[in-house]
A and B are shown apart, each in its own frame.
Chain A
Amino acid sequence: MNSREQILGNVRQALKRAAGQIPTTLAAPRLRIPLSDRNLYTTLFGQNLEKLAGKCIFVREPGEVVPALAELLQGKRAVASNAPFLATCGITALSEVESGFTDREQLRAACAVAEVGITSADYALAETGTLVLLSSPQEARMISLLPPMHIAVFPRARMLANLDELLAVLPNPAEQTSSMVLITGPSRTADIEQILVRGVHGPGEICAVIVG
């Protein structure tokens, strides 16, 4: 008997259940989505991100993104994802920004030396100042992870209220991606003497640019 059979057998014996026995019905998940004015969400998002020492910039038009980021990007090597929205905002056209990677090793090498990683975001959660990134041909994992600064540029329409609303909108992320990551502020630790330090392994600086 292999371990699979042994363990499942032990479980069934412990629970006095037969193989294939259907469980009792489980109540539908209760998702708690606040009924607030969606127009307030971007402001709320910004406040929550700033509480975590993140930055939030609001612009009206895609054309305003590059000037808004000029100071942050000044003199820094950047890697940008293949998200179409970044091209719309003119990010990928910038000379100090490398993008268009499709090869894992090349992307990693670039991210390992880049000072800034620029991505879009699939969703954002107002209640917690969270960015939601799904891994895809448009969004690679390393860009928001290796460089010490992460900038996410996305349209305001992608803003959701909270985690529960994300789960309502996306009940089965596994169908779409191998990796969905919720990013809530800069990387941090308090492992030594409970003193807070930012930028342990992930980016120590994070900036969201909301367009629209």
Chain B
Amino acid sequence: MTGAQSETVKQTLGDARLQLAIYSATNRLMTHRAGAIHQDRLPDYQQLRTEANLLKKHTIDHLDYYLELFEKNVAAHGGKVVYCSDSQEVADFVLSLARERGAHLIVKSKSMTTEEIHFNERLEKHQLEAVETDLGEYILQLAHQRPYHIVAPALHLTRYDVAEIFRKNLGVESEVVIEKQTAIARVALREKFLKADIGVTGANFLVADSGAVVVVENEGNARLTSSAPKIHIAVAGIEKLIPRAQDLGVFLTLLGRSATGQPLTVYTSFLSGPRQSGEIDGPDEFYVVLLDNGRTKLLADPEKRQSLYCIRCGACLNHCPVYRKIGGHNYPWVYSGPIGAIITPQFHGVLKDPWLPFASSLCGACAEVCPVKIDIPKLLLKLRSEVTEAKRREGVGGVERLAFQMWAWLMTHPRIYLALARMSGWFAPLLPKVGPLEKWASQREIPKPAKTSFHQWWRARAENK
């Protein structure tokens, strides 16, 4: 970690209020999930996970086929698929469409993909207002902050923070009652929904056999975003595909329960195009932006490709003891927690944040709860070896490598290792507390080396027989 990164981690750890907020939010989500997937309520849970994993594997392994099938079906229902290689292409597409249609106001529902590509910032440069409509995201947009958690983006803020954010940005009097704060947002955003020219949503799933986009939510803002403006654009990574509408039985059953413990979220929208003839309302134009932005890089590695199975439920974050201590803002990218730890190095290169795959005790809680069975610990271990390899090629990290080479030599030369270990017992208490020893001692007492090792005890016992 950089010095700055270490500092903010320490600050987070020392902030008792924030620790409590992170702890209680994740605890609540964990408890609800546990209830929803319990034997009594979902006896097929493990089977469903296996099916979801196999469905995702099949889709990802044949992704080009399903992309083309999806595209064909979107077109058949009057919509259009737009492939975008990177963030700028998405912005360019939206900007040119907006220009052509004379559009000025965009409403957006929650989409991690749009966070990933800095969608709002890119549009703002060209005087196109993009308003977040998910309550948590709306608050964050006003405060110029990024999401703290995939599912609960504003979990780090208090009602007093929100009151201040609303007061500063909306010109309202400071209001600390949460229900009233919600009402303030409802009124402010209702106006935007009804005036907006374009609605931009994400997509939880892209259904290949239907050319449809599935969006799940609890507030209703995604429904309004996709139904009120004349143009609906859904932005999604290419990995969001699933083969058939009927596969939603497996995925929707797992998604809500894993994320928040809800068997179904309040609204599940299955949107397959502009309004059909006779339909009274709905958009006139329907676009699905399929984003690469580096996903094809992840696709190329057969072992790490499973990172693309993720359905963004957030369960791994909630169960990760490291996330629960450092929170979402201490991860270098918009995707935090265990999933963030495995995809960030793959998108950005392992040497950009070389510490990230190591910021885990490999406890495996994430893999246990992942609804699509991504083997996160295995991928973290793989990434760790890629980091050391990359460091070796760059000619850095030599000290640690040398230490492990010496260690390996000692461990394969037992007599010398044991002799050294015997001697270390004598001078261990005199060792200066530097390096790893200092780090250990910063948190805990140091264990004393035993007076007699097991090796010595065994030899003595054998000699005495």
Contact = CB atoms under 8 A, between A and B. Distances in A.
Contact of B282 (A11, A30, A82, A135): A135
Contacts, number: 262
Contact of A17 (B44, B64, B266, B281): B64
B238 A11 contact: yes
Interface in A159-180: 163-164, 167-168, 171-174, 177-180
Nearest to B209: A172
Given A26-B58, A128-B264, A135-B282, A197 B269 contact: no
A11 B63 contact: yes
B270 A179 contact: yes
A12 B64 contact: yes
A70 interface: no
A137 B154 CA distance: 39
Contacts of A82: 280
Nearest to B272: A174
Q: Which of A21, A101, A193 has the most CB of B within 10 A?
A: A193
Contacts of B218: 187-189, 200
B409 to A, nearest CB: 39
Interface in B247-284: 247-250, 252-253, 262-276, 278-282
Contacts of B227: 141-142, 145, 179
Contact of A192 (B83, B135, B299): B135
A29 B249 contact: yes
Given A7-B85, A200-B135, A200-B221, 7 more contacts: A107-B281, A130-B264, A137-B280, A142-B281, A181-B223, A195-B178, A202-B219
Closest 9 CB pairs of A and B: A202-B220, A191-B136, A174-B272, A10-B296, A23-B62, A201-B220, A174-B210, A14-B300, A14-B299
B269 A189 contact: no
Nearest to B253: A163
Query: DSSP majority for the A interface?
Result: loop
Interface string B102-143: 000000000000000000000000000000011110010000
Interface residues of B, number: 98
A135 B269 CA distance: 11
B174 interface: no
B62 to A, nearest CB: 4
B224 A11 contact: no
Interface residues of A, number: 75
Given A174-B77, A187-B220, A201 B162 contact: no
Interface stretch (B186-194, B356-364, B415-423, B434-442): B186-194
Interface string B50-74: 0100110010011111111000010
B248 A141 contact: no
A200 to B, nearest CB: 4
